[in-house]
Structure 1
Amino acid sequence: MKKSKGKYTPQNDPAAEGEVRAKKHLGQHFLTDENVAQKIADSLTWSGFKNVLEIGPGMGVLTKYLLKKDVDLHVIEIDRESVAFLKENYPDLSGKIHEEDFLKYDLKNIFPDAPFAIIGNFPYNISTQIVFKTLENREDIPEFSGMFQKEVAQRIAAPHGNKTYGILSVLAQAFYEVTYLFTVPPEVFNPPPKVESGVIRLKRKENYSLPCNEKLLFKVVKTAFQQRRKTLRNSLKIFQLPDNLREDAIFGQRPEQLSTQQFIDLTLKIEPYAIST
């Protein structure tokens, strides 16, 4: 399969070579650098699981390196043109290409009784939703690796006290160890995006069952960051907490000042007073 390199021009348009045209509404930017594809394929630890799901394989630049690993690889792709291309060019994927919307699909249909890792070059427009769905299915997903818009990748990996620290940071880090691995420049895509990309890995914590009500934790974190410039005493008024609890020193802080563990501690303080989560 011929791969375009460098700057996007009509002369190296994939569709002109009988390949797949990048579709703006799907957020497609096809990776063209083989070295970067190899690095992403190697970004998982490849231990503790035998099943892997690649999201949005496109024309398979990452897929071909994943097929070299000793795992059971499945791919999920919403673009019909990409699915046809994969079926024609990757016979090893026979029966393992799922033409579905990842965000709407029940992942247990792919690996019903076994854990699996997730990997991919994720479309920017749904990348945060991919993370949230991974968190919802965390019992089945011990590891996750992928490429995001750089600022989103940095946000997920950000420590508390950082200005980019937010909802995604807290919730991802509650269940996974997050590592920012490397940055990818725009020119290795066809067509190139307007921003840099970043690759991160999420490795599930050994003890990922939290001592607090997890649904309430999600609500506390999201409510706090909706008004991130306010102290928790003001941003969490919706919970109608008693005055003696709101006098606790933690309520005098802003959400970005709290670590994931402190948010768990905060949720435990709120839990006795939460009538409904």
Structure 2
Amino acid sequence: MVRAKKHLGQHFLKDEQIARRIAFSLSADGLFSQVLEIGPGTGVLTRHLLEQWRGRLTLVELDRESVAYLKKNFDHSDFVLIEGDFLRMDLTSLMQEPFAIIGNFPYNISSQIFFKVLEHRDQVMEVVGMLQKEVAERLVSPPGNRDYGILSVFLQAYYDMEYLFTVEPHVFNPPPKVRSGVIRLRRNSVTSLGCDEILFRQIVKQGFQNRRKTLRNALKPLNLPFDSVPDSTLGARAEQLSVDEFVELTKQLQSWKS
């Protein structure tokens, strides 16, 4: 038996149909040639991934009990099994080709996983992840919605995103106290935002940290001149701006910085 460990945020999926549905949510159109599964646990999702990705699958698992279980119950010549912390791994050296990430992500590190995806956006062509429903909805939320936030903007700048389906608590062991949501990210064609991307991130973060304020007031701590920014933009709140509008705002402000 593999005991679910609270400090690792483990909730093992036990429904084979849902596991298969998640596994086959990955595209098979040649955009990537390898798949990395985060936190396979007892391999419920892994079994279905092997149907399509045998020999091209890498598993990353931090829990020693789960690693021992996978080694005992699977032919590990079918995949690469790495015991370690995904958040600490050098993905550039680990994965040599464009790849996809999939997994039942631990709730307590799901946002960190997506920030790491952003760091490796030129390698990570697709992500299919199950995470807390509230967080999943926030990531795919469009502008003008109260769920729209910092990570929504950062991810939507480089990925086309969609909410796939909801998963109820009773299909997990132990059942979590909240519902889960499965989302899919597919890398878009954007290689550069065409603006100062460091300043872009600063503006987005500062805007949402004071999301109830207009941008004129929310961005004051950055000490940027607003002379070239239209009043219609400065009078809006961060949640009202699309990715393209944040990019345009950055362009209007970056000339002062340079």
TM-score where L is the length of structure 2:
0.95
Aligned AA (2:70): L
Distance 2:79 2:26 in 1: 24
Deviations along 1:30-85, whole A, 9 cap, x unmatched?
00000000010011112211100000000000001011114600010111111111
Contact 2:100–2:126 (CA under 8 A) maintained in structure 1: yes
Aligned AA (2:36): L
Distance 2:162 2:216 in 1: 32
Distance 2:208 2:215 in 1: 9
Q: What does 1:95-174 align with in structure 2 at a 5 Å threshold?
A: 96-112=80-96, 114-174=97-157
Distance 2:77 2:199 in 1: 41
Contact 1:233–1:246 (CA under 8 A) maintained in structure 2: no
Gaps of 5+ in 1: 1-18
Tell me, yes or no, if structure 1 residue 90 matches structure 2 residue 74: yes
Aligned-partner SS, 1:241: coil
Structure 1 stretch displaced more, 195-204 or 63-72: 63-72
Structure 1 residues 257 and 124, CA gap change in structure 2 (3 angstroms): same
Tell me, yes or no, if structure 1 residue 22 matches structure 2 residue 4: yes
Tell me, yes or no, if structure 1 residue 273 matches structure 2 residue 256: yes
Task: Give the aligned partner of residue 31 of structure 1.
Answer: 13
Structure 1 residues 157 and 93, CA gap change in structure 2 (3 angstroms): farther
Q: What does 1:194-273 align with in structure 2 at a 5 Å threshold?
A: 194-245=177-228, 248-273=231-256
Contact 2:157–2:190 (CA under 8 A) maintained in structure 1: no
Distance 2:198 2:152 in 1: 16
Tell me, yes or no, if structure 1 residue 77 matches structure 2 residue 57: no
Task: For residue 239 of structure 1, report the CA deviation from its aligned partner.
Answer: 2.2
Distance 2:226 2:88 in 1: 42
Distance 1:40 1:238 in 2: 43
Distance 1:142 1:182 in 2: 21
- Structure 1 segments of 4+ aligned residues over 6 angstroms from their partners: none
Question: Across the two proteins, how many residue pairs are aligned to each other?
Answer: 256
Structure 1 stretch displaced more, 246-255 or 261-270: 246-255
Aligned-pair identity in percent equals 55
Task: For residue 273 of structure 1, report the CA deviation from its aligned partner.
Answer: 2.0
Task: For residue 246 of structure 1, report the CA deviation from its aligned partner.
Answer: 5.2
Cα RMSD (Å) of the superposition?
Answer: 1.4
